[in-house]
Amino acid sequence: MSQPRFIHLRTHSEHSLLEGAVPVKKLVGLAAQAGMPAVALTDTNALFAALEFSVTAREKGVQPIVGCQITLASEGGFDGAVVLLAQDRAGWMNLMALGSALFLREGGARPHVTEAELAAHAGGLICLTGGGTGPLGRMVAAGRLPEARGWLTRMAEAFGDRLYVELQRHPSEAGPLMPAEAASEAGMIDLAYDLALPLVATNDVHFPKPDMFEAHDALICIADKCFVDQRQPRRRLTPAHHFKSAEEMAALFADLPEAIENTVEIARRCAFAVETHKPILPRFAEDEVEELRRQAREGLEARLAVVPLSAPRETYDERLAFEVGIIEQMGFPGYFLIVADFIKWAKGQGIPVGPGRGSGAGSLVAWALTITDLDPLRYNLLFERFLNPERVSMPDFDIDFCMDRREEVIRYVQNRYGRDKVGQIITFGQMLSKAAVRDVGRVLQMSYSQCDRLSKMIPVEGVKPVSVTKALADEPRLREQAAAEPQVKRLLDYAAQVEGLYRNASTHAAGVVIGDRPLEQLVPLYRDPASDMPATQFNMKWVEQAGLVKFDFLGLKTLTVIQNAVDLIRASGRRLHVAADGRTLYDPPAGAVDEINAIPLDDPASYDLFASARTVAVFQVESQGMMDALRRMRPTCIEDIVALVALYRPGPMENIPVYCDVKNGRRELESIHVTIDHILAETQGIIVYQEQVMQIAQVMAGYSLGGADLLRRAMGKKKPEEMARERPKFIDGCAARGVDAKKAGEVFDLLEKFANYGFNKSHAAAYAVVSYQTAWLKANHPVEFMAAVMNCDIHLTDKLAILKRETDRMGIEVVPPCVNRSDAGFAVRDGRILYALGALKGVGTEAMRLITEARGDRPFRDLQEFARRVDMKRVGKRPLETLARAGAFDALDPNRAAVLASLDGLVAWSAAVQAAAVSNQSSLFGGGEDLPPPRPVSAAMWLPAERLGEEHGAIGFYLTGHPLDDDQPALKRKKVLTHAELCAEAAAGPMVAYIAGTVSSRQEKKSARGNRFAFVHLSDPTGLYEVTMFSDLLDTARPLLEPGTGIVLQVEAEPSGDGVKLLARSVRTVEDYTADAGPGGLAVELAEGAVLAEVAAALSRIAAEVRASPRARGPVLLRLEESGQQVDIEVAADAPLNPAARQMLRAVPGVRDVVEV
């Protein structure tokens, strides 16, 4: 008996999001393994993988059948899925149109197509009716045979002999067929025979093998937001929805062999695969070659009119002619013109654009066209690193724009080329191991805390968590949990099977494509619900294979910082070239006032800032490792910063000490070979850049720069066969230039090592310039720069805490938030930074603008006036509560507790006042003026500790004080250092000391040997710091490491840069540690007009209320001023003296301060 022949025509890859679980490569492999010459891909309402599938299948010798399972909205409400297969190119074009219509429908409706749309795009498509769950099957199962016949007739009219009645047989617990199949099969067969329509058998493939059914069911539950154990009638799939063999399918349909045979017939009819395509671009000009020549020539003239020449003029002209020739030869003039056009537009609109990014900064044409702002001859950058005439590939400019205005540039491109020709690029979010554990745990009805705990046990390598399988191998605690609890084992088993599948679709952060025709004629389209701009259904890799050229519109926060700093300088009444003290920093070129790219690159103050590593918030160099390298290097020119940007990465980093020592005369420069010393001179004899690898191959071995780039790429890939070809070629080239074979071999080995590590100098140079610009601003306009940085991190509390610490170090005052002074963002007044209202936690900058707009230039007198002028209801009660907790109303009422208690009444009154004003009932209510304000609510003022705690909750860190402030005297008596003191003392060498802090957070990790350790983050009145704690101490100290706890640590301190590395030896609470360090007594200083009897009564009450250790008791004195003399009266001989008592005493009306005696 011959082998049964069957082709799968209905399958779901991982691109059927949270539904399919057969990766494309796996699907093709299964078909090849089963001996099937063809296979179809029919993802649900998606053509995401159409090109990937076509290419992959052809590579494996399997015929791809490109299709889609599409939801069809049918008359009478019998919606269901039909399967469409592309028979030819016309069918593919129609399938793309339908695939795009699924997502581009107005109003955000669920993906579907109408019968009219389907009929209009039926050409070249084979249609399968969808089986028991399709429109036909649902009508038959409902007994609506006339409607079923009518529907089938309409489909036959649209598709002709390309319509097949689809049958499916998935055995289930209920019987040989699923309920929908059993209810519809006989009726569908009868209709097919009556109308002379062919039958076809499919298996609705969702997973590779039956043993994945349970894990796949969990995946379906994640999508449907239900639980696994809610079984029938929830389950719509069975273990039979796997990739069956031809024999299994033939056996299932032994009574209908023609249904099996027709799968092969359909495969024969579908002789189409989606093709890759050469780059497609819109035509920019009638004669793009001449237009590029003109713009490049004129642009170079304009550049050299204001920029000092770095080489003879003829060198510029020759380089320009060479580059233009290569660009023309490779067919890319239009690409350069398109990029130059939108960058010129952006700059014309005042939108900050980065000086360059990636290898594109090596092009003189790009500089002439203002695509980049780096003269490549000044930095010795190579065009061939960007566009290699010996290797045809698309150029790729990555453009950095101001983060806040990037969207404006994209809108310009849409308007310039047509909205239907411009789109974003889809991207898919994978379900990685940690997320898989949480998601699967949820549908298994396990507690959030347990799932979260298990998820946190999965280690992270780089930026991604390891797989569940690897985590089980590496993490003993995870294995123990799985062995102890069957439900945990079940969770991990399911999670291991579904991890890596796609969970959701969104859009690429930067990529935009521009077509020469409507995009839906080139690729199927998608629309992210969060965007009004269509996106391609192919991801970044495959959209380029389809011929669409990607333009990267990146948002770089640093450009926003720079622009904001320049704006703040202008707002302060100065220009960029004038320092805060009035000094002229440089003479700006004509037409370049306040232009950051015009600042000189030789500013001593900037290099002093780099050399002393005062680089918090300075682009690229703010990490501790970078700061250490800067101190050692002591940069004196921009080339040093370029080198550091390139060197500070794994591998090359080991050469930083050599570079620094040679630069500073601590070590002799070692020559590799005299012929290349000039190439390596700027990097102290070290190969740092990929461009140096290319130049060495050119000079020593006679390679062209294009050939040298190919050599560099081959070396980076480490392919032995390519190295075997290149090595003798290199050595022979060296021999022809007088270099002996031994030295040539040594240099080749050296190049091979550094080709893999070497960094793109063009990118390093561009980012070094941006780094220098931020350092220059910080050195010469520190207040405005720090305010600008804080504005860009306005919603990042942790970053703001670090920046506040840096402003303290710089001596810049940060004024606390205030509704009468502060703006929604950070502002600068009189050399001080005003804390932003919008930086408070959970308030939102838009809500805060309502306050600042209502205030204008007239401060609020009191809370009632605030409520009258500000629509408090629109601001929101929660943001107003946050303002109160942060002290933003202190200027109107210093009692924060009373303000908080008054808000309900004030919000209601404000709403009534605003409503009266809007309804214009001034004749009756005086526009709201006559509405009586609510009565003030009285409340006891918060104690200092409570006040600080509320402030911390509202701001995210301690701004106006610290919980340990009152403990400082006792800590001093116990020889406990502040963090600042410890840094100063430990600078001389390692030491052991005691340090106190309030815990902010802790991060526990596992060492390579499996031992637990933690980074504990703390703060004290002098700043933030981190302590490392190993498992022996961590296990016992963990209860003391909760946020808000004050602790004293014995630490080993070791110098590290301008700080110290701290390792904990012991931990105690501050209260316990200072219990025997109380003061001799307390003096209560009275304010003028205080009523002595009332204060004395309050003191007695506090003495009775506060519990304290006997070791923290002593006398309390009342300190009076009488006739210019200080008089102390003892009011208690044995009163509590701890910080809590002091805080309560300060809160007593009439008390000015409490001091130790």
Do residues 192 and 80 share a domain?
Answer: yes
- pLDDT category, 923, cuts 50, 70, 90? very low
Do residues 722 and 837 share a domain?
Answer: no
Beta bridge partners of 1012: 1006
- pLDDT category, 233, cuts 50, 70, 90? low
- pLDDT category, 984, cuts 50, 70, 90? confident
Could you give the CA distance from residue 1027 to residue 689 in angstroms, rounded to a whole number? Answer: 37
Do residues 759 and 814 share a domain?
Answer: no
What average pLDDT does the segment 158-184 reach?
A: 91
- The whole-number pLDDT of residue 925 equals 46
354 neighbors 770 (Cβ within 8 angstroms): yes
CB neighbours of residue 881 within 10 Å: 17
Please report where in the chains the tokens 């408070």 appear, as a residue: 840
- pLDDT category, 1106, cuts 50, 70, 90? low
Q: Which two tokens stand for residue 88?
A: 């030819």
Where a domain ends, among 200, 234, 269?
269
766 neighbors 794 (Cβ within 8 angstroms): no
Where a domain ends, among 921, 955, 989?
955
Residues with Cβ < 8 Å from 659, sequence gap 6 or more?
633, 643, 647, 683, 684, 686, 688
- The whole-number pLDDT of residue 929 equals 60
Q: Distances from the Cα of 693 to the Cαs of 408, 660, 759, in angstroms?
A: 40, 21, 10
- The whole-number pLDDT of residue 82 equals 98
Please report where in the chains the tokens 């799939």 appear, as a residue: 237
Do residues 882 and 817 share a domain?
Answer: yes
Closest CA to 1112 of 1075, 1082, 1149, 1152: 1075
Where a domain ends, among 1026, 1051, 1073?
1073
Do residues 817 and 768 share a domain?
Answer: no
Could you give the CA distance from residue 671 to residue 623 in angstroms, rounded to a whole number? Answer: 32
Do residues 252 and 350 share a domain?
Answer: no
CATH of the domain at 1060: 2.40.50.140
Residue 951 has pLDDT above 90, yes or no: yes
What average pLDDT does the segment 66-72 reach?
A: 97
Could you give the CA distance from residue 475 to residue 630 in angstroms, rounded to a whole number? Answer: 38
What average pLDDT does the segment 1023-1038 reach?
A: 92
Do residues 718 and 605 share a domain?
Answer: yes
Please report where in the chains the tokens 């005439």 appear, as a residue: 389
Residue 90 has pLDDT above 50, yes or no: yes
pLDDT tens digit sequence for 734-756 = 999 999 999 999 999 999 888 77
Could you give the CA distance from residue 614 to residue 831 in angstroms, rounded to a whole number? Answer: 20
Q: How many residues does the chain have?
A: 1157
Which is higher by pLDDT, 1146 or 540?
540
Which is higher by pLDDT, 780 or 713?
780
At 640 the three-state DSSP class reads helix
- The whole-number pLDDT of residue 591 equals 74
383 neighbors 322 (Cβ within 8 angstroms): yes
- pLDDT category, 924, cuts 50, 70, 90? very low
Do residues 1008 and 1115 share a domain?
Answer: no
Which is higher by pLDDT, 790 or 1008?
790
- Helix (H), strand (E) at residue 266: helix 257-269
215 neighbors 498 (Cβ within 8 angstroms): yes
Closest CA to 972 of 981, 985, 984: 981
At 1023 the three-state DSSP class reads strand
- Helix (H), strand (E) at residue 1102: helix 1092-1105
Do residues 257 and 112 share a domain?
Answer: yes
Could you give the CA distance from residue 211 to residue 190 in angstroms, rounded to a whole number? Answer: 35
Which is higher by pLDDT, 1103 or 878?
878
Q: Is 377 exposed, middle or buried (0-12, 13-18, 19+ CB in 10 A)?
A: middle
Backbone phi, then psi, for 923, in 5-degree steps? -65, -30
676 neighbors 700 (Cβ within 8 angstroms): yes
At 1014 the three-state DSSP class reads strand
What average pLDDT does the segment 975-1000 reach?
A: 91
- The whole-number pLDDT of residue 1123 equals 67
Q: Which letter, b or e, does each residue of 670-687 get, where b requires 16 or more Cβ atoms within 10 Å of its Cβ? A: eebbebbeebbebbbbbb
565 neighbors 575 (Cβ within 8 angstroms): no
CATH of the domain at 58: 3.20.20.140
pLDDT tens digit sequence for 285-299 = 999 999 999 999 999
DSSP label at 205? B
Do residues 951 and 1005 share a domain?
Answer: no
Residues with Cβ < 8 Å from 1097, sequence gap 6 or more?
none
What average pLDDT does the segment 232-257 reach?
A: 90
Residues with Cβ < 8 Å from 1021, sequence gap 6 or more?
961, 962, 964, 965, 968, 978
DSSP label at 1061? E
pLDDT tens digit sequence for 526-585 = 998 888 899 999 999 999 999 999 999 999 999 999 999 999 999 988 999 998 888 899
In the chain, what is the greatest distance between 2 CA atoms, to the nearest angstrom? Answer: 123
- The whole-number pLDDT of residue 922 equals 47
Distance of CA 528 to the CA centre of its chain: 18
Q: Distances from the Cα of 338 to the Cαs of 278, 416, 425, in angstroms?
A: 18, 10, 19
- The whole-number pLDDT of residue 431 equals 94
Could you give the CA distance from residue 771 to residue 630 in angstroms, rounded to a whole number? Answer: 13
Do residues 134 and 77 share a domain?
Answer: yes
Residue 230 has pLDDT above 70, yes or no: no
Could you give the CA distance from residue 572 to residue 1152 in angstroms, rounded to a whole number? Answer: 37
Q: Distances from the Cα of 1092 to the Cαs of 101, 829, 1125, 1128, 1135, in angstroms?
A: 82, 42, 17, 13, 18
Could you give the CA distance from residue 600 to residue 376 in angstroms, rounded to a whole number? Answer: 17
Beta bridge partners of 38: 63
Residue range(s) defining the domain that contains residue 124: 24-208+243-269
Whether residue 443 lies inside any domain: the answer is no
Which is higher by pLDDT, 583 or 866?
866
pLDDT tens digit sequence for 9-42 = 999 999 999 999 999 999 999 999 999 999 999 9
Do residues 690 and 595 share a domain?
Answer: yes
Whether residue 1127 lies inside any domain: the answer is yes
CATH of the domain at 836: 1.10.150
Residue 1092 has pLDDT above 80, yes or no: no
| Long-range contacts of the stretch 820-823 (C-beta < 8 A, 24+) | 820/855, 820/859, 820/860, 820/891, 820/892, 821/859, 821/891, 822/852, 822/888, 823/852
Residue 715 has pLDDT above 90, yes or no: no
Question: β-strands 163-168, 125-128: how paired?
Answer: parallel
Whether residue 493 lies inside any domain: the answer is no
Residues with Cβ < 8 Å from 461, sequence gap 6 or more?
none
- The whole-number pLDDT of residue 936 equals 85
1108 neighbors 1076 (Cβ within 8 angstroms): no
Mean pLDDT of all residues belonging to the chain: 91
- pLDDT category, 614, cuts 50, 70, 90? very high
Angle at the Cα of 673 from the Cα atoms of 669 and 677, rounded to 5 degrees: 55
Residues with Cβ < 8 Å from 847, sequence gap 6 or more?
874, 875, 876, 879
Q: Is 581 exposed, middle or buried (0-12, 13-18, 19+ CB in 10 A)?
A: exposed
Distance of CA 71 to the CA centre of its chain: 34
pLDDT tens digit sequence for 756-780 = 788 999 999 999 999 999 999 999 9
Please report where in the chains the tokens 């109380």 appear, as a residue: 1078
Number of domains comprising the chain? 6
Whether residue 403 lies inside any domain: the answer is yes
Whether residue 614 lies inside any domain: the answer is yes
Whether residue 38 lies inside any domain: the answer is yes
At 1086 the three-state DSSP class reads strand
Closest CA to 180 of 141, 144, 146: 141
Whether residue 156 lies inside any domain: the answer is yes
Closest CA to 23 of 207, 220, 203, 204: 207
pTM: 0.85
